[in-house]
Amino acid sequence: MITSESGTKTKYMVEFLPAGLKVEVPGGTTVLDAARIAGVVIDSLCGGDGVCGKCRVIVRHGIVRAAATQSLTREEIRQGYVLACEARIDGNVLIDVPTASQVRGKVRDADAVDIRVRESGLLERQRNELDPLVKKHCLRMEPARLENPQSDLNRLYHELAKLNCREESQLGLSVLRRLPGVVRNASGVVTVTSAHRGALTEITDIVSGDSSNPNLAVAVDIGTTSVVAHLIDVATGQSLSSAAKYNSQAVYGGDVLRRIMYCIEQPDGLTQLHTAVIEDINTLIRELLDKVQLSENYITFVVAAGNTTIMHTVMGMNPEWIRREPYVGVSYQPPPFRAAELGIMIHPRGLFYSLPCVSSFIGADITAGVLATGMTQSDEPRMLIDIGTNGEIVIGNKDWMVCASASAGPAFEGAETRDGMRATCGAIDHIRGWSSGQRFSFSTVGNESPCGLCGTAYVDLLAQLLRLQVMDKTGRLNTGNGIARLRKGAEGEPEFVVVKRGERGASRDLVITQSDIANLMRAKAAVYAASKILLTSLGLTMSDLSEIMVAGAFGNFLDLENAVFIGLLPDVPGEKLRFVGNTSLVGAKMAALDRQRYQEARRIANSMTYFELSTDPRFMEAFTSACFFPHTNIEEFPSVMAKVS
Partner 1 sequence: MALSGLEIYKHLPKSNCKECGVATCLAFAMKVASGQASLEGCPRLDEKGKTALGEAGAPPQSLISFGANGYGFEIGQETVLYRHEDKFYHPTAISVCINDSLDNAILEQRCKELSAIAFDRMGKTSVVDMLALVNASKDTARFAEAARLAAASFPRSLALLSPDPTALRAAGEAVAARRPLLWALCTGSNPEAFFKVAEDLRLPLCIEAPGFEALAGLADQARVSGLKDLVLSPGPVSSQEGCAFLTQSRRAAITKKFRSLGYPVAMMAMDEDPLRATVDACWYILKYAGIVVANLTRPEHILALAATRQDIYTNPQIPVQVPAGLHEVGDPGPDAPVLVTTNFALSYYSVESEISSARIPAYILAVDTEGTSVLTAWAAEKLTGATTAEALAKARAAEKAGHKKVIIPGLVSVLSGSIKEESGWDVIVGPREASGLVSFLKANWRS
Partner 2 sequence: MKAQDTATKWAAAINEVRIGATPADGGTRRNTVTIGGAQCVPWLAYEGKTGNRPAIAVEIWDRGGETWPGALLEQYGDCVKDPAAWAKKAAEFGADLICLKLMGAHPAMGGISAREAADTVKSVLAAVDLPLIVWGCDVNERDNEVLPKCSEAAKGENCLFGTIKEKNYRTLVASCLADGHKLLAESPLDINIAKQLNVLAHDVGYPLEQLVIFPTTAALGYGFEYVYSIMERSRLAGLGGDPLLRQPTLCDVGLQAWRAKEAITAEDALPGFGPVGARGPLWEAITATNYLQAGADLLVMRHPGSIRLVKESIDRLCSVPAA
* Contacts to partner 1 by CB under 8 A: 46, 49-51, 70, 257-258, 261, 265, 323-325, 359, 399-402, 407, 416, 491-493, 514-515, 518-519, 537-540, 606-610, 614, 617, 620
**Shortest separation between residue 520's beta carbon and partner 1, angstroms:** 12
Residue nearer to partner 1 on the CB measure, 212 or 359: 359
Contacted entry of partner 2, partner 1, none for residue 635, CB cut-off 5 to 8 Å set by kind:
partner 2
Contacted entry of partner 2, partner 1, none for residue 476, CB cut-off 5 to 8 Å set by kind:
partner 2
Q: Decide: 385 and 333 in contact? Cβ < 8 Å.
A: no
Residue nearer to partner 1 on the CB measure, 304 or 486: 486
**Shortest separation between residue 109's beta carbon and partner 1, angstroms:** 34
**Shortest separation between residue 2's beta carbon and partner 1, angstroms:** 16
**Shortest separation between residue 303's beta carbon and partner 2, angstroms:** 44
**Shortest separation between residue 622's beta carbon and partner 1, angstroms:** 13
**537 SS3 class:** helix
Contacted entry of partner 1, partner 2, none for residue 325, CB cut-off 5 to 8 Å set by kind:
partner 1
Q: Decide: 456 and 563 in contact? Cβ < 8 Å.
A: no
**Shortest separation between residue 468's beta carbon and partner 1, angstroms:** 23
Residue nearer to partner 1 on the CB measure, 45 or 227: 45
Contacted entry of partner 2, partner 1, none for residue 519, CB cut-off 5 to 8 Å set by kind:
partner 1
Q: Decide: 362 and 310 in contact? Cβ < 8 Å.
A: no
**Which residues are CB-contacts of 642 (< 8 A; sequence separation ≥ 6)?**
none
**Shortest separation between residue 78's beta carbon and partner 1, angstroms:** 17
Contacted entry of partner 2, partner 1, none for residue 540, CB cut-off 5 to 8 Å set by kind:
partner 1
DSSP structural state of residue 399: S
**Shortest separation between residue 56's beta carbon and partner 1, angstroms:** 17
* DSSP class per residue in 88-139: EE-S-EEEE--GGGB--S---HHHHHHHHHHHHHHHGGGGGG-B-SEEEEEE
CA proximity to 336, closest of 81, 37, 595: 595
Q: How far is CA 45 from CA 144, 367, 407, in A?
A: 64, 27, 16
Residue nearer to partner 2 on the CB measure, 75 or 472: 472
Contacted entry of partner 1, partner 2, none for residue 480, CB cut-off 5 to 8 Å set by kind:
partner 2
Q: Measured between alpha carbons, how far is 623 from 633 in angstroms, rounded to an integer?
A: 12
Contacted entry of partner 2, partner 1, none for residue 134, CB cut-off 5 to 8 Å set by kind:
none
**Shortest separation between residue 133's beta carbon and partner 2, angstroms:** 49
Q: Measured between alpha carbons, how far is 103 from 613 in angstroms, rounded to an integer?
A: 33
**Shortest separation between residue 634's beta carbon and partner 2, angstroms:** 7
DSSP structural state of residue 167: S
* DSSP class per residue in 321-370: GGSSTT---S-SSPPPEEHHHHT--SSTT-EEEEPPP-SSSS-HHHHHHH
The strands making up 299-306's β-sheet, listed across from edge to edge, are 238-246, 226-233, 216-222, 299-306, 351-354, 337-338
Q: Measured between alpha carbons, how far is 137 from 211 in angstroms, rounded to an integer?
A: 9
Residue nearer to partner 2 on the CB measure, 609 or 625: 625
Contacted entry of partner 1, partner 2, none for residue 579, CB cut-off 5 to 8 Å set by kind:
none
State the Rg of the chain over Cα.
27
Contacted entry of partner 2, partner 1, none for residue 518, CB cut-off 5 to 8 Å set by kind:
partner 1
**Shortest separation between residue 392's beta carbon and partner 2, angstroms:** 24
Residue nearer to partner 2 on the CB measure, 379 or 635: 635
Main-chain phi, psi angles of 195, to 5 degrees: -115, 140
Contacted entry of partner 1, partner 2, none for residue 472, CB cut-off 5 to 8 Å set by kind:
partner 2
Residue nearer to partner 2 on the CB measure, 366 or 525: 525
Residue burial 437-468, b: 16+ Cβ < 10 Å; e: rest: eeebebebbeeeebbbbbbbbbbbbbbbbbeb
Q: Measured between alpha carbons, how far is 240 from 220 in angstroms, rounded to an integer?
A: 14
Counting Cα atoms < 13 Å in the Cβ hemisphere of 161 gives 7
Residue nearer to partner 2 on the CB measure, 438 or 481: 481
Residue nearer to partner 1 on the CB measure, 255 or 287: 255
Residue nearer to partner 1 on the CB measure, 241 or 407: 407
**Shortest separation between residue 394's beta carbon and partner 1, angstroms:** 13
Element spanning 22, H or E: strand 21-26
Please, what is the Cα angle at 287 between 272 and 349, to 5 degrees?
70
**Amino acid of residue 390:** N
Sign of torsion, CA 32 37 43 47? positive
Please, what is the Cα angle at 356 between 353 and 358, to 5 degrees?
165
**497 SS3 class:** strand
**Shortest separation between residue 218's beta carbon and partner 2, angstroms:** 47
Contacted entry of partner 2, partner 1, none for residue 537, CB cut-off 5 to 8 Å set by kind:
partner 1
Residue nearer to partner 1 on the CB measure, 81 or 619: 619
Applying CB under 8 A, which residues contact partner 2? 472-474, 476, 480, 621, 624-625, 627-628, 632-635
Please, what is the Cα angle at 444 between 438 and 445, to 5 degrees?
175
Contacted entry of partner 1, partner 2, none for residue 627, CB cut-off 5 to 8 Å set by kind:
partner 2
Contacted entry of partner 2, partner 1, none for residue 185, CB cut-off 5 to 8 Å set by kind:
none
CA proximity to 66, closest of 46, 85, 45, 47: 85
Residue nearer to partner 1 on the CB measure, 50 or 567: 50
Residue nearer to partner 1 on the CB measure, 157 or 610: 610
Contacted entry of partner 1, partner 2, none for residue 294, CB cut-off 5 to 8 Å set by kind:
none
Residue nearer to partner 1 on the CB measure, 158 or 323: 323
Residue nearer to partner 1 on the CB measure, 538 or 634: 538
**Shortest separation between residue 302's beta carbon and partner 2, angstroms:** 47
**Shortest separation between residue 476's beta carbon and partner 2, angstroms:** 7
Contacted entry of partner 1, partner 2, none for residue 213, CB cut-off 5 to 8 Å set by kind:
none
Bridge partners of 58?
Answer: 81, 96
